[in-house]
């Protein structure tokens, strides 16, 4: 193949590398993260961008990689739009690709910036690549409400870089992984036709970062007695969940029975487990509240709240013995198109047969639900994707959560890798915050995750059942939470943008 043919084939190679990167977050056959595949695929991208003959060529390669990676990561959006939403299949495919292409522009810009300003030796170029990769990840996480699903750091939840999570978080791990990938990619240079030279300086980066002694953060032990928990998984078919003749009566009957029958000290029902507003439940809600107020257990239940006048919220209600005012948590980070409609896009949502709505947004800093000495912090659906939001609950250490409670409904996306990807996200949050995470979902993954990100109890997906287990709250605060709760993501932004400026100003 001549030089022109090679140049034309490189964007195709970038697409393949992007698909490998998507698989690394949670593989498509076992749902497990593959940290080595993430580093390898990103090293392929770094090599292709680093040897691009122009800024335009670098941008195209970065964009092709990102489109394949992102579409290969959240392809399951097609199911929610086509299978459950009734959108024609072609339009659903185009919508997924359009979202991936839009988000991929961040990575195209990062690749173009690298080709324009990267200079110096192997280490300097690897550092520039890692910083620009971090900048693209932060842009995707923050701009236009943020959608950082499948960020590269999640591939390392079981890898040798996982020990960094309590110090620098998932985006910091992504930066280090990009530094490793850049070191691998730039450790060789072409001297002439068929001749290459390997640089020890470039190879030193992955050797040091992957095999250095692990100074793992060891939090203090749990302070209280473990809670017994019962996590409910109703497995209500998504196409029936909001139907009055099928899913709604099944959900009301089954969840009502399990909430009353559970023997654990805490019982949790998933997002919209009760799919109707309390005032539309007739004589169902008040007796349930009364029963749970008289026993010896507490409950957290997913249910929509509000009215036409005040607006609606996707919420969780906390009930416990002793009566008094019900605890309420309102979802803060809403899903675009599912829970709020962005300006100018109502025409798109009207094409789908999905119970969409414009929900009100809850506050970031909402109090925890206190029960038996623990401070339980609910988050709903993909809110556990935004660690910077969760960190704001730790500004006052005396009121900081001791246990995270995620309630979700991934039924919109079928029996797909979305379930596994969300599990890896929750595990990473547990490691970052040194907090256990209990998850009650409609279809999976319903699990108990300990403070170190290990799954200690789990329920088979797509089954109806109750997961019982124990969970102990932790009170120590990680270094990552300390600086994230004070400064947000700004230290990472400074690294991502400041270092490239300094490196670009260096003389060639």
Domain that includes residue 31, residue range: 3-217+488-504
Q: Give the pLDDT of residue 347.
A: 52
Quote the CA–CA distance of 77 and 96 in Å, as a whole number: 7
Q: Give the pLDDT of residue 311.
A: 83
Quote the CA–CA distance of 493 and 349 in Å, as a whole number: 34
Res. 57: pLDDT tops 70: yes
> Pairing state of beta strands 227-233 and 465-471?
antiparallel
Do 196 and 233 lie in one domain? The reply is: no
Q: Is 271 a catalytic residue?
A: yes
Q: Is 331 a catalytic residue?
A: yes
Task: Report yes or no on 376 lying in a domain.
Answer: yes
Q: Is 383 a catalytic residue?
A: no
The phi-psi region of residue 462 (left if phi > 0; otherwise alpha if psi is between -120 and 50; otherwise beta) is: left
Q: Give the pLDDT of residue 286.
A: 92
CA 487, 492, 497, 501 torsion-angle sign: positive
Lowest mean pLDDT among 39-43, 322-326, 458-462: 322-326
Alpha helix positions (H), 74-194: 77-78, 89-117, 122-142, 165-185
Task: Report yes or no on 483 lying in a domain.
Answer: no
Tell me phi and psi for residue 47, to 5 degrees.
-65, -40
Q: Give the pLDDT of residue 353.
A: 61
Do 274 and 393 lie in one domain? The reply is: yes
Pair 230, 258: CB distance under 8 Å: yes
Quote the CA–CA distance of 134 and 122 in Å, as a whole number: 18
The stretch 38-45 carries a mean pLDDT of 96
Gap between the terminal Cα atoms of the chain: 33
Catalytic residue among 137, 331, 383, 432: 331
Do 447 and 492 lie in one domain? The reply is: no
pTM of the predicted model, to two decimals? 0.92
- Residues facing residue 378 across a β-bridge: 405
Q: Give the pLDDT of residue 307.
A: 84
Instruction: Return mean pLDDT, the chain.
Output: 88
Catalytic residue among 241, 381, 383, 432: 381
- Counting the structural domains of the chain, the total is 2
Three-class DSSP category at 266: strand
Do 120 and 255 lie in one domain? The reply is: no
Q: Give the pLDDT of residue 199.
A: 56
The two tokens of residue 474 are 């932790």
pLDDT digits (tens, 9 = 90+) for 62-84: 999 999 999 999 999 999 888 88
Do 253 and 332 lie in one domain? The reply is: yes
Do 298 and 232 lie in one domain? The reply is: yes
Do 397 and 458 lie in one domain? The reply is: yes
Task: Report yes or no on 235 lying in a domain.
Answer: yes
Select the more confidently predicted residue: 58 or 204: 58
Q: Give the pLDDT of residue 357.
A: 59
Task: Report yes or no on 222 lying in a domain.
Answer: no
The CATH code of the domain that includes 334 is 3.60.110.10
DSSP 497: H
pLDDT digits (tens, 9 = 90+) for 205-218: 666 666 665 666 76
DSSP 336: B
Do 77 and 209 lie in one domain? The reply is: yes
Select the more confidently predicted residue: 283 or 336: 283
What percent of the chain stands above pLDDT 90? 67
Q: Give the pLDDT of residue 507.
A: 58
Do 471 and 497 lie in one domain? The reply is: no
Q: Give the pLDDT of residue 243.
A: 84
Res. 352: pLDDT tops 70: no
Catalytic residue among 122, 131, 241, 271: 271
Quote the CA–CA distance of 382 and 85 in Å, as a whole number: 20
pLDDT digits (tens, 9 = 90+) for 22-35: 999 999 999 999 99
């Amino acid at each position: 193949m001549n030089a022109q043919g090679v140049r034309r084939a490189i964007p195709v190679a970038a697409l393949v590398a992007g698909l490998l990167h998507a698989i690394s977050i949670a593989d498509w056959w076992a749902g497990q993260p593959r940290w080595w595949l993430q580093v390898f695929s990103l090293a392929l991208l770094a090599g292709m961008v680093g040897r691009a003959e122009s800024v335009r060529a670098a941008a195209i390669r970065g964009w092709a990689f990102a489109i394949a990676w992102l579409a290969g990561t959240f392809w399951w959006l097609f199911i929610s739009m086509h299978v459950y939403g009734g959108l024609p299949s072609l339009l659903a495919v185009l919508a997924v690709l359009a979202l991936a292409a839009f988000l991929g522009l961040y990575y195209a810009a990062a690749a173009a910036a690298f080709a324009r300003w990267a200079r110096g030796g192997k280490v300097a170029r690897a550092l520039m690549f890692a910083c620009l990769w971090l900048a693209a990840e932060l842009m995707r996480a923050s701009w236009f409400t943020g959608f950082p699903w499948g960020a590269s750091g999640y591939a390392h939840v079981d890898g040798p870089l996982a020990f960094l999570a309590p110090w620098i978080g998932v985006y910091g791990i992504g930066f280090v992984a990009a530094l490793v990938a850049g070191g691998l990619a730039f450790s060789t240079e072409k001297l002439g036709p068929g001749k290459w030279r390997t640089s020890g300086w470039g190879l030193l980066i992955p050797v040091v970062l992957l095999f250095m002694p692990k100074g793992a953060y060891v939090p203090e032990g749990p302070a209280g007695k473990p809670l017994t928990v019962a996590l409910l998984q109703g497995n209500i078919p998504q196409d029936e969940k909001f139907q009055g003749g099928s899913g709604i009566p099944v959900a009301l009957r089954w969840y009502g029975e399990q909430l009353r029958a559970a023997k654990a000290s805490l019982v949790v029902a998933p997002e919209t487990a009760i799919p109707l507003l309390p005032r539309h439940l007739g004589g169902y809600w008040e007796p349930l509240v009364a029963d749970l107020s008289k026993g010896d257990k507490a409950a957290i239940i997913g249910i929509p709240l509000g009215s036409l006048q005040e607006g609606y919220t996707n919420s969780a209600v906390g009930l416990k013995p002793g009566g008094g005012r019900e605890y309420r948590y309102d979802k803060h980070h809403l899903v675009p198109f599912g829970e709020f409609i962005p300006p100018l896009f109502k025409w798109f949502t009207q094409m789908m047969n999905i119970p969409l709505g414009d929900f009100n947004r809850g506050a970031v800093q909402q109090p925890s639900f206190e029960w038996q000495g623990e401070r339980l912090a609910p988050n709903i659906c993909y809110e556990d994707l935004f660690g910077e939001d969760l960190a704001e609950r730790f500004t006052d250490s005396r009121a900081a959560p001791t246990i995270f409670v995620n309630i979700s409904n991934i039924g919109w996306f079928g029996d797909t890798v979305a379930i596994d990807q969300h599990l890896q996200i929750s595990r990473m949050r547990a490691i970052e915050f040194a907090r256990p995470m209990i998850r009650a979902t409609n279809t999976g993954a319903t699990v108990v995750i300990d403070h170190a990100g290990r799954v200690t109890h789990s329920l088979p997906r797509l089954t109806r059942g109750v997961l019982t287990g124990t969970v102990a709250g932790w009170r120590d605060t990680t270094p990552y939470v300390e600086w994230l709760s004070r400064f947000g993501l700004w230290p990472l932004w400074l690294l991502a943008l400041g270092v490239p400026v300094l490196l670009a100003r260096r003389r060639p």
